[in-house]
Amino acid sequence: MLGTVWPAAQFRSDAFGRLLDTRSAGGTLGAGGVDSVAVAGQGGIPATGVNAALLNVTATNTTAGSYFTVYPSTRPNASDLNWAAGQTVPNMTVATLGGTGKVNVFNAAGSADLVVDTSGYFGLLSTVPTMVSAVVTTGAPGNIVITYNVPVVCPTAAYSDFTYDYTTGTFGGSPISCSDIPGNDTLTLVGNFVTPGASATITYTEPSSPTSGGSGNAVYSFNSPIQFALTQTLTLAVAPAMTAAVVTPPAPNGTAIPNEIYVAYNESAVCVGGAAPAFSYSYDGTSAHAVAATGCAVSGGSPSNVLILSFGAALTAPTTGANLVYTLPSSPLDTTAVYAYNGGAPSNNFAATQTLPVAAITVPTITSANVTTSAISVVYNEAVTCPDSGGFVYDSSLGTSGGAIASCSASGSTVTLNPATTFTVPTTGGATLTYTQPFPPTDALDVFATANGANFAVDQTLTPTPIPAPVMVTALVDNTGLGTITVTYNEPVSCPGAVPSGLFSYNFDGGTGDAVQPVHCASGAGFTLVLSFGAGITDFTTGGSLQYTAPGISTTSNAVYATGSTKFAATQNLTNIGNLH
């Protein structure tokens, strides 16, 4: 804005982002209306130390001829862009920030939608070198590249002034040298460093008697050799780091995708096609067999911590020494490098150069499954994680659902599937447990190897081992007194006591109207149940039977079950019946 006088400032063109769009948030700006737009700390602009911002201000959906005025606090009698009714008009303006880090936008007449984007900012120049950010690269050796607010010089001996902790209070490696590029705002520490975790820090301690020059012992300003860096601790942003990779995992339906590598990161990361050449895979770790990636995408869409690399040719399966190398471009951009997911906005938190060992594939595979009414225990060939149960379907017999699956959990190599209500226990062949891999795979939906977040379970159907149900073998009728029938089973059984209506029915000759039902049952000696009828019953004759009808959903309170388990008796008609007298 004309007439504004700023302190000495430095323009930075590395801040791009949308600050406001009233078409989607905030509402149209009416006549005489003012919108306050937060600028500092937004769109890549620092939260402090900023004088002004280079803004692209656009008016659209205009209803009358009018103008916008952009100002920090007191509105001047001036305009930053003008339009006629119905026009969409953008204009670039340098906007001074108020004390709150915001600017105000005033609309003179009619109504209009306001869109504000940033293209850079003017930061206060400081002769005191101050660390702004740092990127850690692991390896032997690795390096820490530190960016300052001004061009700096780092004499070789100054490396000892730095201390690196890769997480809170935990030593992450010692620098062995320090270097700089004349006139550049970065310096590089060389050493063997650990990948930064949560709350990683780099601390610079100013020497008690700092000196500059080739034999100096301190970091100092390139433009003012007498201005030394002060003691400072910088907390590092956790940069995306590869944690695991899988080459050519089988895809759904048992097919293979020969030209892909799934790469798991320590956080949600973003990668577009332009970043693919930064990746190189070697099946034996030698440069002679290194193959560059040709494509890179986020698995399942952002946010996700799994990236999918594609290649122009089939890949050789990993052998001893196999690795995946990611090399940070010398001038990284969101279009050429992997960076941390930032809510969909551009980010300058780039992944550092890294070499990751690649192991041979061990696909998580179901080895067995055990069904009870309250859970299905699924055993895998390795430790797995089950974030979502949506891939599982259970049929208790051919084409018949055995109960809806509501959730899953995992402990070691065992996944536990929990029912929405209850499961039907399989008693004969034909039961199936089917897992269908959600695709494309993500660790938010798929079962995956706990030791390797990019190694996903694939399509599989398993037949759970049938659990034999209690079966009636013989029965003995006692017609004396109130009448009982002693039923012998193939195993020890229990019953609910008071017999629900329709559970048992005794018909001594099969005639119409001759069926009677017991009122009570109890466990007898050995494998027997004793049914009591409460009234005299007739001895068994030819054509008679004892009918057991299983409830729609069997429980220990309404059905016959194997003692000490949840195996329930199935519907059965018994004719092997004798008489006590």
Say whether both 334 and 374 belong to one domain.
no
Q: Is residue 2 part of a domain?
A: no
Q: Is residue 27 part of a domain?
A: yes
Say whether both 457 and 509 belong to one domain.
no
CATH number at residue 54: 2.60.120
Say whether both 317 and 298 belong to one domain.
yes
Residue that terminates a domain, selected from 235, 262, 288: 235
Q: What is the pTM assigned to this prediction? A: 0.38
The residues with which 446 forms a beta bridge, in sequence order, are none
Q: What gap in Å lies between CA 102 and CA 304, rounded to an integer? A: 33
Residue that terminates a domain, selected from 235, 257, 281: 235
Q: Which range is least confidently modeled, 106-110, 115-119, 512-516?
A: 512-516
Say whether both 79 and 178 belong to one domain.
no
Say whether both 392 and 440 belong to one domain.
yes
Q: Which range is least confidently modeled, 277-286, 449-458, 533-542?
A: 449-458
Report which listed range, 204-208, 303-307, 497-501, is most confident. Answer: 204-208
Q: Is residue 467 part of a domain?
A: no
Say whether both 286 and 319 belong to one domain.
yes
Say whether both 573 and 540 belong to one domain.
yes
What does pLDDT average to over the chain? 85
Answer yes or no: is pLDDT of 250 > 80.
no
CB 276 within 8 A of CB 298: no
Q: Is residue 3 part of a domain?
A: no
User: pLDDT category, 9, cuts 50, 70, 90?
Assistant: low
CATH number at residue 423: 2.60.40
Say whether both 138 and 215 belong to one domain.
yes
Say whether both 286 and 187 belong to one domain.
no
Domain that holds residue 527: 472-579
Looking at the structure of the chain, the number of domains it has is 5
Say whether both 420 and 374 belong to one domain.
yes
CA atoms within 13 A on the CB side of 46: 15
Say whether both 212 and 150 belong to one domain.
yes
Residue that terminates a domain, selected from 208, 235, 262: 235
Spatial CA neighbour of 490 closest among 468, 518, 523, 521: 468
R_g (Cα) of the chain, nearest Å: 37
CATH number at residue 571: 2.60.40.1220
Q: Provide the Cα torsion 419, 420, 426, 429; round to 10°.
A: -100
Spatial CA neighbour of 315 closest among 291, 298, 295: 291
Could you identify the residue written with the tokens 């600017």?
103
Answer yes or no: is pLDDT of 243 > 90.
no
User: pLDDT category, 124, cuts 50, 70, 90?
Assistant: low
Say whether both 136 and 39 belong to one domain.
no
User: pLDDT category, 428, cuts 50, 70, 90?
Assistant: low
